[in-house]
Amino acid sequence: MAAVRKWIVLIGCIVASSLSAWWFFNQQLMEEGEVFRPTHEVLAEWARRVREHDADLKWLQESGRLPRLAFTEAEARRLFPIQHHQNEWHARSYFARRPNLELRRKMEDHPSGSWLLETNSLGMRRADDPSSEQPDLRVLVVGDSHLDGLLNNDESFASELERRLQRAHSGQSVEVLNAARGGFSLYSTLGAMERFLYLKPDLVIVGVSGNNDFTDLLQLGHIFDGDDIELRQDSELKVLGGIAAELRPAVSAGFGAMYYGRLHPQELEFGVARASAICREMQSVAHAAEAELLFVFVPSPSALSWQQEPNSFAEVRKILGLGAEHLLRERELAQGFIEGLRSEGCRVLDLGVVLESEPDAFFWLSNFHLNIVGHRMLADGLEPELSSQLQK
């Protein structure tokens, strides 16, 4: 094993949701009186067992480019938000959304003031199950909350794509199956992809979010590498714990990861490198399953040039001491990630090209996730890719 690294665990007043997509869960958990965060002792114990080559450890993949541990349900409950009423344990993705949900979620900036979370018997964001007969084109979507969507199923890019392709190719059958889940790290996204490959998708769309996917994987990445996890109270990181609740969506929109990268740049570099390794593994898994793969990169809302920037952005930047150089660094890391994937033959749709033109129109301002217009824009970008797939 390579030289052991020290990893600083964010603890004390730091809420996991302050830095990443765990906000997606914890916002709801806080409403219900509970917030999930794995303890330092749990994280350190798993890393120690890996480091000492514990023979009782179970692995999804022990050797090769991307080691990954397998967790029982009891073990996973100490590491992942399985206690959330929408979630259940799954062996490959560690947690997954429960099947057959029908939950109304309030959201002021949705035109209806709320949206309906509905899942099928597989926990996918659609009412019906996959067809028992293989369609002419079956697309599997995996990723985190941007592709999952904070909107009704029929407003999502997946439903929009399915409708458009059915109209344009009336003689052919099309399914776009949305198995994305808010709060997934890229490790869980890979596991979700593996879980549903039995459906024989022709194309797998993988969402990668710039605002959290380079930081959400840090805990598992360091555990799987057996790194020495150091417990340290970082006074600078206490700043995050004092940020008002109304500003936390802006923190999770990319400023939290940017701030953490400012304090610990080597960690952000580790995150980008590990994200690239996971994506390469996805490419290998898809190839073995005879499926094509398309990555969709959603940039951090905080990294975009807003015509009318939300007031919370300037306030959070001031609190966290973030300047133009930190924004530039985030953009450089994201661009390097995209170019690295493309240099290895991966197909990447960079939404930043479109979002940069008018981000004000594409995001919910209450949580900085893609809104209905943003999902239509995503469908616009993907439609030519899927149409060419049907014509093969």
Distances (CA, A) of 347 to 8, 88, 343, 366: 34, 32, 10, 32
Per-residue model confidence (pLDDT) at position 4: 58
Q: Which amino acid is present at 125?
A: R
Per-residue model confidence (pLDDT) at position 240: 76
| Other CB atoms within 10 Å distance of the CB of residue 74 | 9
What is d(CA 271, CA 331) in angstroms, rounded to the nearest whole number?
A: 15
DSSP 106-134: E-TTSTTSEEEEE--TTS-SSSSPPPSSP
Question: How would you write the pLDDT of the chain (392 residues) with one tens digit per residue?
Answer: 445 565 554 433 333 333 444 444 444 444 444 456 788 889 989 999 999 999 999 999 866 679 999 999 999 999 998 988 999 999 999 999 999 999 999 999 999 999 999 999 999 999 999 999 999 999 999 999 999 999 999 999 999 999 999 999 998 999 999 999 999 999 999 999 999 999 999 999 999 999 999 999 998 999 999 998 765 556 666 787 788 889 989 999 999 999 988 988 998 999 999 999 999 999 999 999 999 999 999 999 999 999 999 999 999 999 999 999 999 999 999 999 999 999 999 999 999 998 988 899 999 999 999 999 999 999 999 999 999 988 87
What stretches of the chain adopt beta strand conformation (E)? 6-9, 59-61, 68-69, 87-90, 94-97, 102-106, 114-118, 137-142, 174-178, 203-209, 228-231, 292-298, 347-350
Per-residue model confidence (pLDDT) at position 1: 44
Per-residue model confidence (pLDDT) at position 28: 45
Per-residue model confidence (pLDDT) at position 10: 44
Q: DSSP letter at 255?
A: I
DSSP 33-63: T------HHHHHHHHHHHHTT-TT--EEE-S
Per-residue model confidence (pLDDT) at position 21: 42
Apex 155 CA angle, 30 and 206, nearest 5: 75
Per-residue model confidence (pLDDT) at position 64: 66
Per-residue model confidence (pLDDT) at position 14: 33
Per-residue model confidence (pLDDT) at position 34: 47
Is pTM beyond 0.85? Reply is yes
The answer to whether the CB of 180 falls within 8 A of the CB of 144 is yes
Per-residue model confidence (pLDDT) at position 51: 93
The answer to whether the CB of 161 falls within 8 A of the CB of 383 is yes
CATH level 3 topology of 6-390: Rossmann fold (3.40.50)
Give me the residue spans of the domains in the chain.
Answer: 6-390
CA dihedral (278, 282, 283, 284) positive or negative: positive
